[in-house]
Structure 1
Protein backbone atom coordinates (compact mmCIF):
# COMPACT_ATOMS: atom_id res chain seq x y z
CA UNK A 1 0.00 0.00 0.00
CA UNK A 2 1.53 3.29 -1.05
CA UNK A 3 1.12 6.70 0.52
CA UNK A 4 -1.49 7.63 -2.09
CA UNK A 5 -3.61 4.59 -1.16
CA UNK A 6 -4.19 5.70 2.44
CA UNK A 7 -7.74 6.61 3.32
CA UNK A 8 -8.51 8.81 6.31
CA UNK A 9 -11.95 8.77 7.91
CA UNK A 10 -13.30 11.75 9.83
CA UNK A 11 -16.55 10.16 10.98
CA UNK A 12 -15.11 9.83 14.48
CA UNK A 13 -13.91 13.43 14.69
CA UNK A 14 -14.93 15.54 17.67
CA UNK A 15 -17.43 18.34 17.42
CA UNK A 16 -15.94 21.79 16.97
CA UNK A 17 -15.05 23.78 20.06
CA UNK A 18 -17.66 26.46 19.33
CA UNK A 19 -20.39 23.78 19.01
CA UNK A 20 -19.22 22.20 22.25
CA UNK A 21 -19.33 25.53 24.12
CA UNK A 22 -22.73 26.33 22.65
CA UNK A 23 -24.18 22.99 23.80
CA UNK A 24 -22.72 23.48 27.31
CA UNK A 25 -24.25 26.95 27.52
CA UNK A 26 -27.59 25.59 26.35
CA UNK A 27 -27.56 22.86 29.02
CA UNK A 28 -26.66 25.40 31.70
CA UNK A 29 -29.40 27.85 30.67
CA UNK A 30 -31.97 25.04 30.65
CA UNK A 31 -30.88 23.95 34.15
CA UNK A 32 -31.02 27.50 35.50
CA UNK A 33 -34.44 28.02 33.91
CA UNK A 34 -35.65 24.91 35.68
CA UNK A 35 -34.22 26.29 38.92
CA UNK A 36 -36.12 29.53 38.41
CA UNK A 37 -39.32 27.53 37.91
CA UNK A 38 -38.59 25.63 41.15
CA UNK A 39 -38.11 28.88 43.11
CA UNK A 40 -41.31 30.37 41.71
CA UNK A 41 -43.17 27.14 42.40
CA UNK A 42 -41.92 27.14 46.00
CA UNK A 43 -43.10 30.74 46.50
CA UNK A 44 -46.52 30.16 44.92
CA UNK A 45 -47.19 26.86 46.68
CA UNK A 46 -45.83 27.81 50.11
CA UNK A 47 -49.27 28.40 51.68
CA UNK A 48 -51.15 25.99 49.41
CA UNK A 49 -49.13 22.77 49.39
CA UNK A 50 -46.19 23.00 51.78
CA UNK A 51 -44.74 19.56 50.96
CA UNK A 52 -44.51 20.30 47.23
CA UNK A 53 -43.06 23.73 48.05
CA UNK A 54 -40.31 22.07 50.12
CA UNK A 55 -39.55 19.71 47.24
CA UNK A 56 -39.32 22.62 44.81
CA UNK A 57 -37.08 24.49 47.25
CA UNK A 58 -34.74 21.50 47.56
CA UNK A 59 -34.64 21.29 43.76
CA UNK A 60 -33.83 25.00 43.56
CA UNK A 61 -30.97 24.58 46.02
CA UNK A 62 -29.45 21.46 44.42
CA UNK A 63 -29.88 22.33 40.74
CA UNK A 64 -27.01 24.89 40.50
CA UNK A 65 -24.53 22.28 41.71
CA UNK A 66 -25.65 19.74 39.12
CA UNK A 67 -25.96 22.41 36.42
CA UNK A 68 -22.31 23.36 36.89
CA UNK A 69 -21.23 19.71 36.90
CA UNK A 70 -23.11 19.07 33.67
CA UNK A 71 -21.95 22.28 32.00
CA UNK A 72 -18.30 21.71 32.94
CA UNK A 73 -18.23 18.08 31.87
CA UNK A 74 -15.26 17.60 29.57
CA UNK A 75 -15.52 17.23 25.85
CA UNK A 76 -16.43 13.77 24.71
CA UNK A 77 -13.59 11.53 23.72
CA UNK A 78 -13.17 10.92 20.05
CA UNK A 79 -13.85 7.28 19.28
CA UNK A 80 -10.83 5.26 18.27
CA UNK A 81 -10.15 5.86 14.63
CA UNK A 82 -9.08 2.98 12.43
CA UNK A 83 -5.39 2.77 11.71
CA UNK A 84 -4.18 3.54 8.21
CA UNK A 85 -1.35 1.03 8.61
CA UNK A 86 -2.30 -2.24 6.98
CA UNK A 87 -0.33 -5.49 7.15
CA UNK A 88 -0.99 -7.74 4.18
CA UNK A 89 -2.60 -10.98 5.43
CA UNK A 90 -0.02 -13.22 3.69
CA UNK A 91 2.86 -11.67 5.68
CA UNK A 92 3.60 -13.79 8.77
CA UNK A 93 4.22 -11.80 11.92
CA UNK A 94 7.35 -12.83 13.80
CA UNK A 95 8.30 -11.80 17.29
CA UNK A 96 11.99 -12.41 16.71
CA UNK A 97 14.38 -15.18 15.74
CA UNK A 98 12.35 -18.29 15.28
CA UNK A 99 9.25 -16.45 16.53
CA UNK A 100 10.48 -16.50 20.14
CA UNK A 101 11.27 -12.83 20.69
CA UNK A 102 13.88 -10.28 19.74
CA UNK A 103 13.93 -8.19 16.61
CA UNK A 104 15.98 -9.93 13.95
CA UNK A 105 15.29 -12.66 11.43
CA UNK A 106 16.40 -16.18 12.25
CA UNK A 107 19.59 -17.49 10.64
CA UNK A 108 20.19 -21.10 9.91
CA UNK A 109 23.75 -22.45 10.21
Structure 2
Protein backbone atom coordinates (compact mmCIF):
# COMPACT_ATOMS: atom_id res chain seq x y z
CA UNK A 1 0.00 0.00 0.00
CA UNK A 2 1.43 3.38 -1.00
CA UNK A 3 0.82 6.70 0.60
CA UNK A 4 0.06 9.40 -1.91
CA UNK A 5 3.05 11.44 -0.72
CA UNK A 6 5.50 8.57 -1.25
CA UNK A 7 4.08 7.22 -4.53
CA UNK A 8 6.63 7.35 -7.35
CA UNK A 9 6.16 9.55 -10.39
CA UNK A 10 4.27 7.80 -13.25
CA UNK A 11 6.51 5.90 -15.64
CA UNK A 12 5.42 7.93 -18.70
CA UNK A 13 6.28 11.20 -16.94
CA UNK A 14 9.67 9.83 -15.87
CA UNK A 15 10.54 8.66 -19.39
CA UNK A 16 9.40 11.98 -20.90
CA UNK A 17 11.51 13.95 -18.39
CA UNK A 18 14.61 11.85 -19.07
CA UNK A 19 14.08 12.10 -22.85
CA UNK A 20 13.80 15.90 -22.72
CA UNK A 21 16.96 16.11 -20.60
CA UNK A 22 18.86 13.83 -23.01
CA UNK A 23 17.75 15.81 -26.08
CA UNK A 24 18.75 19.10 -24.41
CA UNK A 25 22.20 17.70 -23.68
CA UNK A 26 22.58 16.44 -27.25
CA UNK A 27 21.57 19.90 -28.48
CA UNK A 28 24.31 21.39 -26.31
CA UNK A 29 26.72 18.85 -27.82
CA UNK A 30 25.77 19.98 -31.31
CA UNK A 31 26.36 23.61 -30.33
CA UNK A 32 29.79 22.72 -28.88
CA UNK A 33 30.77 20.81 -32.01
CA UNK A 34 29.70 23.60 -34.35
CA UNK A 35 31.41 26.22 -32.19
CA UNK A 36 34.62 24.16 -32.20
CA UNK A 37 34.59 23.73 -35.97
CA UNK A 38 33.57 27.30 -36.80
CA UNK A 39 36.09 28.91 -34.43
CA UNK A 40 39.02 26.75 -35.57
CA UNK A 41 41.73 29.12 -36.76
CA UNK A 42 39.73 32.24 -35.83
CA UNK A 43 40.26 32.30 -32.06
CA UNK A 44 43.12 30.84 -30.03
CA UNK A 45 43.36 27.08 -30.51
CA UNK A 46 42.63 26.17 -26.90
CA UNK A 47 39.13 27.68 -27.13
CA UNK A 48 38.25 25.48 -30.11
CA UNK A 49 39.75 22.45 -28.37
CA UNK A 50 37.60 23.07 -25.27
CA UNK A 51 34.48 23.15 -27.46
CA UNK A 52 35.50 19.92 -29.20
CA UNK A 53 36.33 18.16 -25.92
CA UNK A 54 32.87 19.17 -24.66
CA UNK A 55 31.33 17.68 -27.81
CA UNK A 56 33.18 14.40 -27.14
CA UNK A 57 32.43 14.15 -23.40
CA UNK A 58 28.78 15.27 -23.41
CA UNK A 59 27.32 12.07 -24.97
CA UNK A 60 28.80 9.93 -22.19
CA UNK A 61 27.38 12.22 -19.50
CA UNK A 62 24.01 12.41 -21.27
CA UNK A 63 23.66 8.62 -21.43
CA UNK A 64 24.61 8.20 -17.77
CA UNK A 65 22.06 10.81 -16.69
CA UNK A 66 19.35 9.48 -19.01
CA UNK A 67 19.69 5.98 -17.59
CA UNK A 68 19.67 7.21 -13.99
CA UNK A 69 15.96 7.16 -13.36
CA UNK A 70 13.31 5.72 -11.06
CA UNK A 71 15.60 5.03 -8.14
CA UNK A 72 14.01 3.79 -4.98
CA UNK A 73 13.71 6.09 -2.04
CA UNK A 74 15.34 4.74 1.08
CA UNK A 75 12.69 6.12 3.39
CA UNK A 76 11.33 3.80 6.01
CA UNK A 77 7.66 3.18 5.27
CA UNK A 78 6.70 1.16 8.30
CA UNK A 79 2.94 1.25 8.77
CA UNK A 80 3.09 -0.81 11.95
CA UNK A 81 4.76 0.44 15.09
CA UNK A 82 6.51 -2.28 17.03
CA UNK A 83 5.14 -2.80 20.52
CA UNK A 84 7.27 -2.34 23.56
CA UNK A 85 8.25 -5.69 25.05
CA UNK A 86 9.86 -4.39 28.22
CA UNK A 87 6.65 -3.77 30.18
CA UNK A 88 4.43 -6.42 28.56
CA UNK A 89 6.28 -9.55 29.64
CA UNK A 90 7.60 -10.46 33.07
CA UNK A 91 10.57 -12.80 33.36
CA UNK A 92 9.74 -16.29 34.64
CA UNK A 93 10.12 -16.79 38.37
CA UNK A 94 10.48 -20.57 38.29
CA UNK A 95 13.94 -20.53 36.70
CA UNK A 96 12.82 -21.06 33.12
CA UNK A 97 10.61 -24.18 33.51
CA UNK A 98 7.76 -22.51 31.60
CA UNK A 99 5.55 -21.36 34.48
CA UNK A 100 4.81 -17.67 34.86
CA UNK A 101 4.30 -15.82 38.10
CA UNK A 102 0.91 -14.09 38.51
State TM-score, norm by structure 1: 0.71
Q: CA deviation at 1:44?
A: 1.2
Q: Is the 8 A contact 2:22 2:63 kept in 1?
A: yes
Point out where structure 2 has 5 or more consecutive residues left out of the alignment.
93-97
Q: CA deviation at 1:47?
A: 1.2
Residue 80 (1) aligns with residue 72 (2): no
CA deviation string 1:46-94 (max 9, x = no partner): 011221110000000011011000001131323525433246xxx6424
Structure with the greater relative contact order (CA < 8 A, sep ≥ 6): 1 or 2?
1
Where do 1:1-109 residues align within 5 Å?
A: 9-49=3-43, 50-78=45-73, 80=75, 82-86=77-81, 92-94=84-86, 98=91, 107-108=100-101
**4+ residue runs over 6 A deviation:** none
Aligned-residue Cα RMSD (Å) equals 2.9
